[in-house]
Structure 1
Amino acid sequence: MSSRFRHVALIGKYQASGGRAQSGALDVVMEDIAAFLEAQGCTVFVEESQADGVPVGRYKALTVEEIGEECDLGLVVGGDGTMLGIGRQLAPYGVPLIGINRGRLGFITDIALDDYQATLVPMLAGEYEEDHRNLMHAQVMRNGVSVFDALAMNDVVVNRGGTSGMVELRVTVGRHFVANQRADGMIIASSTGSTAYSLSAGGPLLHPALPGWVLVPIAPHTLSNRPIVLPDAEEVSIELVGGRDASANFDMQSLASLAIGDRVVVRRSDYRVRFLHPRGWSYFDTLRKKLHWNEGGS
């Protein structure tokens, strides 16, 4: 079967050993994947920021913007963090992404490295399931002015300082005041991010087809402050009322320091990330495998 994808960007952290680590060239795994893609009739490109030392003339290095404009598929090799980073950047271009898991959990990089060739052959020929994930658009507002702007796929988290006590947060959903909450922080997670920090803080799992968010307090002072599922059509605002050295994290990959009176405002983004999965893929299969459900059962 020939590939329906002609221009494929190979994206990932090129882990190397020995002399290769010094040169920054593609490691053996990435070279094998690139050669496999070429054998399927694909022209292979690499992402520029990771491509120092790639042999000249072998694989052309592109910026993320060039990948968005020139490639019809991104093949991401790594963990979920790698996918989160490139997914946010390529979402405005609509480039679909396939994830090969080279990390640990792999909720969104779901193809096993050992099985990638057998799995990718039919996918490259057009046999796949397509899965769209909404992004979150977050801003830090200070005196009515945006001082920080970011996209997030998993979550937006307001945290207390590392050496300080609880923070006090004023939470508003749409035009409605919810509550002032004292806690170690607050998580606004998408359905994609419901399996990340939100889950460890006691939040529920949300199926990715649900157009919703979950608002999860982190170690709340009042134990009746429980996670709540919200429609993602509503704007969520978290204002820092009290506390020192607080910050806002966006997918745990970018950070903004907060001052008293700052508001972290989260809206549904206009952009979505396009994931491609093997034919027959199921979100429940992923949960069973990654969360070790039914282990020891019949």
Structure 2
Amino acid sequence: MFRKVSILYKENDNLAIETAMKVQEWLKNKNVECVLFHSVGAFSSFNHSEIMAIQSSDAVIVLGGDGTMLSASRIINGRKIPIIGINMGTLGFITEIQRTDLWKSLELIFSGSYDIEERSMLNAQVFRDEETINEYLGLNDLVIGKGIMAKISDFELIINNMYVSTIKADGIIISTPTGSTAYNLSAGGPILFPTLKGLVFTPICPHTLSVRPVVLPDNFIIDLVISSNVKDIFLTIDGQIGFPLKINDRVRCRVADEKTYLIAPVGRDYFRVLREKLRWGER
């Protein structure tokens, strides 16, 4: 039973705020302590004590879309604190609970009827002149791509310290299985079952059509070196954190030691999710 819970809700979303307040009252009636009630979004910031409150919770309830879930996952930072995702948006691949099923699902979860799924995260390091200048943690993906100029870039692909190829493309996506249904899917990459271990390497509009997505084991290390002098090229983590890159910068990606833990309804059918979210089987 969860006794201490944090509630995070999508900022500037009246429905999410109103629903979060109702959930807070529901928890109070269940004698569950709400240790933090806070918005998540581009303009929301967390001080040290707020982060510590979240990281001391037994569980975190997140009301929003997948973007809100991604932000919450990075705040939890790999601690074994399960996330209860309530979909307040449209698609919602990571937010398992639909708003229409909210109270029934909460009753089941807080009576102990739930599964916890362990999801892989990725670690990304940026090297410049052989020094680490930044390090990031993500649940979905990292993307290296250009800004507004439609110009192809060169990327040296190195896997486990072995040179593979210099790839000409609009950009590169490296995604986790959880992120395989995000940008990776739009770029022609494969769908991976979300609890698999590994990474997907997917070029964005490669110059050579034979350069295809590759699924790699979870103990492989992927290095990408920016080998063309293209202005406005960025590393983006989960579509939310951006960092400008320069020629000869090296981005190293691996499966992180940290994990994200998601609460799923008992008997949840992932292929039903694909049917409902991606319209599989529709004519």
TM-score scaled to structure 1, two decimals? 0.88
Question: Offset of 1:241 from its aligned partner?
Answer: 0.2
Q: Which runs of 4+ in 1 moved over 3 A?
A: 14-17, 47-50
Partner residue of 1:256 out of 233, 236, 243 = 243
The percentage of aligned residue pairs carrying the same residue is: 36
Question: Offset of 1:64 from its aligned partner?
Answer: 2.0
Query: Unpaired segments of 5 or more residues in structure 2?
Result: 41-48
Question: Offset of 1:49 from its aligned partner?
Answer: 5.7
- Counterpart CA distance in 1 for 2:196 and 2:36 is 34
Question: Offset of 1:144 from its aligned partner?
Answer: 0.7
Partner residue of 2:33 out of 40, 43, 47 = 43
| Residue aligning to 1:247 | 234
| Residue aligning to 2:98 | 112
- Counterpart contact for 2:79–2:259, Cα < 8 Å: no
| Residue aligning to 1:181 | 167
RMSD over equivalenced CA pairs, Å: 1.9
- Counterpart CA distance in 2 for 1:110 and 1:175 is 38
Question: Offset of 1:14 from its aligned partner?
Answer: 4.6
- Counterpart contact for 1:249–1:255, Cα < 8 Å: yes
Paired residues in the alignment total: 275
Letter of the aligned partner of 1:29 in structure 2? Answer: T
Matches within 5 A, 1:16-55: 27-48=17-38
Letter of the aligned partner of 1:42 in structure 2? Answer: V
- Counterpart contact for 1:166–1:184, Cα < 8 Å: yes
Partner residue of 2:190 out of 188, 200, 204 = 204
- Counterpart CA distance in 1 for 2:37 and 2:250 is 35
Matched, 1:282 2:269: yes
- Counterpart CA distance in 2 for 1:197 and 1:16 is 24
| Residue aligning to 1:11 | 8
| Residue aligning to 2:133 | 147
Which entry has the higher C-alpha Rg, 1 or 2? 1
Query: Unpaired segments of 5 or more residues in structure 1?
Result: 51-61
| Residue aligning to 1:54 | none
Cα deviations across residues 201-253 of structure 1 (Å, max 9, x unaligned)? 00000112221111110011111111111112111011000022211111111
| Residue aligning to 1:292 | 279
SS of the equivalent of 1:27 reads helix
- CA separation of 1:118/1:238 partners in 2, compared to 1, >3 Å: closer, same or farther? same
Matched, 1:82 2:68: yes
- Counterpart CA distance in 2 for 1:268 and 1:79 is 24
- Counterpart CA distance in 2 for 1:233 and 1:277 is 27
Matched, 1:229 2:219: no
Letter of the aligned partner of 1:257 in structure 2? Answer: P
| Residue aligning to 1:98 | 84
- CA separation of 1:49/1:15 partners in 2, compared to 1, >3 Å: closer, same or farther? closer
- Counterpart CA distance in 1 for 2:257 and 2:11 is 32
| Residue aligning to 2:58 | 72
Letter of the aligned partner of 1:251 in structure 2? Answer: D
- Counterpart contact for 1:167–1:244, Cα < 8 Å: no
Question: Offset of 1:282 from its aligned partner?
Answer: 2.3
Matches within 5 A, 1:56-67: 63-67=50-54
- Counterpart contact for 1:14–1:30, Cα < 8 Å: no
Letter of the aligned partner of 2:28 in structure 1? Answer: E
TM-score scaled to structure 2, two decimals? 0.92
- Counterpart CA distance in 1 for 2:158 and 2:143 is 15
